[in-house]
């Protein structure tokens, strides 16, 4: 009888430990830092297990400014290394900062779309410098692949000019906006090669398509929307009007969008208006006040993390729960807003 009681107590203790561990894991959150690299891109994603993924590394030069800002965000997230650095494409404002970043923080693997399609300008030099740093840590992915992360799902939507061929679960509906979408020119640059990812954490979905341009955007959602809806959307191409087609942005139906614009780069009025006019009139959070767009095509200052051209590079931070609830925080003024689960 005594032995049976001890066995029952041991079993109960193990169950309590297991339950506590499960509850702790369920209570963890996903974090996304939208880092100000002055009109480039750098987005740090930290999963519920602490595994990290950085999308793009900003510009080179500037005294290591962008690398320092990325490392500061990583420190805020409690990281000592970045597990994956995903390069959407090989333009200077996205990949140029890789060598400086690698000098300041340990990186596990690098993920890209394959070889550069550009053979002129500074792109070949940027691509060569990246390959030298990445070495045998480089992974090349294609649409439909998953980046092997724990606690969150990271699926490749676009890469090397291609997109997923079948609709994601729950998606695939006909897109009524396709017929009215203007025909866009073919883009032969690295922008159209952008590696785009969908990050899923429970019911929360975040989409980042790099600098994908309109023709490739439309192919992803027309005639049928292969992605479905998302909760948080990073506007492509820094909020430029050569991207952010209405047929894409409105079909995604985001609850909020973020625009990684610079003071004088991106943040075009037409793109801002399309994002603002999406179903439900979602708020557009901005890394910078876009000087050329005018007051009527910039969001309220509480949603802009850097209002002056010369700034301290404040970030925007998203914190998401598995039930789909997420909060956006402006690190400049401490303003935050929570978007409740659907």
Q: What is the pTM of this model?
A: 0.91
What would the two tokens of residue 342 be?
């659907």
The vertex-45 CA angle with 319 and 272, nearest 5°, equals: 75
Query: How much is the pLDDT for 4?
Result: 47
Q: Which of 146, 144, 88, 155 is nearest to 116 (CA)?
A: 88
DSSP code at position 96: T
The answer as to whether 281 is a domain residue is yes
N-to-C CA span, the chain: 52
Decide: 207 and 198 in contact? Cβ < 8 Å.
Answer: yes
Query: How much is the pLDDT for 13?
Result: 39
Query: How many folded domains does the chain comprise?
Result: 1
Q: Which of 199, 177, 318, 330 is nearest to 249 (CA)?
A: 177
The answer as to whether 48 is a domain residue is yes
Q: In what order do the strands lie in the sheet with 106-112?
A: 138-140, 106-112, 81-86, 52-55, 43-46, 30-34, 316-320, 326-330, 336-339
Expressed as residue numbers, the domain containing 119 is 29-339
CA distances from 180 to 16, 183, 218, 219, 222 (A): 58, 9, 11, 14, 11
Query: How much is the pLDDT for 20?
Result: 35
The answer as to whether 147 is a domain residue is yes
Residue 202 belongs to a domain with what CATH number? 3.60.15.10
Query: How much is the pLDDT for 342?
Result: 79
The answer as to whether 3 is a domain residue is no
Q: Which helix (H) or strand (E) holds 68?
A: helix 65-76
The answer as to whether 77 is a domain residue is yes
* Residue with the two structure tokens 């969008």: 257
Query: How much is the pLDDT for 341?
Result: 86
The answer as to whether 14 is a domain residue is no
Q: What is the mean pLDDT of each run of 10 residues along the chain (342 residues)?
A: 44 39 56 96 97 97 95 96 98 97 98 96 97 97 97 98 97 97 94 98 98 98 98 96 97 97 94 96 97 95 95 96 98 97 82
Alpha-carbon 31 to chain mean position: 11
Query: How much is the pLDDT for 251?
Result: 98
CB neighbour burial string for 257-276, b if at least 16 within 10 angstroms, e if fewer: bbbbbbbebbbbbebbbbbe
The answer as to whether 7 is a domain residue is no
Decide: 284 and 254 in contact? Cβ < 8 Å.
Answer: no
Query: How much is the pLDDT for 164?
Result: 98
The answer as to whether 101 is a domain residue is yes
């Amino acid at each position: 009888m005594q032995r049976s009681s001890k066995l029952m107590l041991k079993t109960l203790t193990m169950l309590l430990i297991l339950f506590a561990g499960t509850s702790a894991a369920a209570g963890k959150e996903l974090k996304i830092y939208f880092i100000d690299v002055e009109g480039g891109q750098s987005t740090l994603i930290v999963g519920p297990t602490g595994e990290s993924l950085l999308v793009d590394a900003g510009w080179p030069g500037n005294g290591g400014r962008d690398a320092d800002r990325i490392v500061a965000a990583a420190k805020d997230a409690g990281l000592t290394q970045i597990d994956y650095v995903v390069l959407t494409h090989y333009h200077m404002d996205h990949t140029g900062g890789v060598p400086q970043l690698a000098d300041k923080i340990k990186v596990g693997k690098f993920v890209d779309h394959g070889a550069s399609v550009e053979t002129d300008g500074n792109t070949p030099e940027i691509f060569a410098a990246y390959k030298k740093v990445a070495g045998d840590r480089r992974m090349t992915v294609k649409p439909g692949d998953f980046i092997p992360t724990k606690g969150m799902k990271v699926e490749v939507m676009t890469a090397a000019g291609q997109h997923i061929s079948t609709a994601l679960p729950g998606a695939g509906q006909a897109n009524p906006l396709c017929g009215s979408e203007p025909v866009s020119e073919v883009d032969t640059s690295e922008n159209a090669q952008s590696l785009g990812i969908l990050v899923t954490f429970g019911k929360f979905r975040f989409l980042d398509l790099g600098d994908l341009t309109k023709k490739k955007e439309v192919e992803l959602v027309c005639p049928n929307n292969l992605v479905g809806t998302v909760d948080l959307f990073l506007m492509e191409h820094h909020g430029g009007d050569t991207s952010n087609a209405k047929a894409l942005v409105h079909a995604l139906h985001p609850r909020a969008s973020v625009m990684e614009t610079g003071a004088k780069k991106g943040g075009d009025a037409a793109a801002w208006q399309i994002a603002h006019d999406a179903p439900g009139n979602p708020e557009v959070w901005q890394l910078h006040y876009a000087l050329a767009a005018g007051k009527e095509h910039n969001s309220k200052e509480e949603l802009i993390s850097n209002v002056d051209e010369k700034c301290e590079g404040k970030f925007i931070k998203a914190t998401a729960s598995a039930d789909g609830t997420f909060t956006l925080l402006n690190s400049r003024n401490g303003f935050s807003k929570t978007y409740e689960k659907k």
